[in-house]
Amino acid sequence: MNVTLTSLQLYNNNLGSEGGKALENALCKNTTLISLDLHNNYLGPRVGKALANSLCRNNTLTSLNLKNNNLGSEGGKAIANALCKNNKLKDLDISHNDLGSEGAKSLAHALCNNTTLTCLNLKNNKLESEGGITLADSLCKNDTLKYLNISCNDLGSEGGRALANALCKNTTLTSLSLQNNKIGSKCIEALTNSNLKNAISLDLTFNDFELEENALADALCKKTP
């Protein structure tokens, strides 16, 4: 057993299901690895479930990148369930995995229970408005997450407005990316009429706002209590 390796990058290696299975076994036994990058390896939902199982046992890994691995909703659900049990992971990237709204629901549940995750990247996962609304609800309860990227998810105006309202209750999030989500001017209106709990960096680019006169100015001038 290796007792010195702390960081491992295996991205773009076409590991597939067999390679992923081997990693599951290794993670269950390893006690030193802190950072693991597996993006672009076509692992699929079955390996996603296997890796989720290892996360329930591993107590050292703090950063995991699973970007673009075809996890699907089933793989996403498994990872979400693992987050309810894992108390070490701080940074998780599961962007570009087609998690869908069902995957978002599971992750929202996980965020209500997990107390260690601080950075979560869910970019381009087809979450849609339903997924955005459920995640918004979890942000009202989560008190550890600091960075959340849910750009390119077709959240729509309802999802955008729900997330804007969630910022009135969340006290820890400092960075939120809503880029390219067709959230519309309702999101800006919600921000204008809300009292944000803390300073936050918002990325609202590529949303094709049709702002009413002074709406953006009002939002920028709004002061927190």
**pLDDT single digits (tens) 187-201:** 767 765 666 767 788
Express each pLDDT in 148-178 by its tens digit: 999 999 999 899 889 988 988 999 999 999 9
Q: Which residues does 219 contact at the CB level (< 8 Å), separation at least 6?
A: 188, 191, 192
Question: Cβ(179)–Cβ(200) under 8 Å?
Answer: no
CATH dotted code for 1-98: 3.80.10.10
Q: Is the pLDDT of residue 224 over 60?
A: no
Q: What mean pLDDT value characterizes the chain?
A: 88
> What percentage of the chain has pLDDT greater than the value 70?
88
The three-point CA angle 148-219-160 to 5° equals 40
| Predicted pLDDT of residue 219 | 60
The pTM of the full predicted model, rounded to 2 decimals, is 0.92
Strand partners, 92: 64, 120
Express each pLDDT in 41-69 by its tens digit: 989 999 999 999 999 989 899 999 999 99
CATH class of 128-225: alpha beta
In the chain, ranges of CATH 3.80.10.10 domains: 1-98, 128-225
The residue whose two tokens read 């309810």 is 84
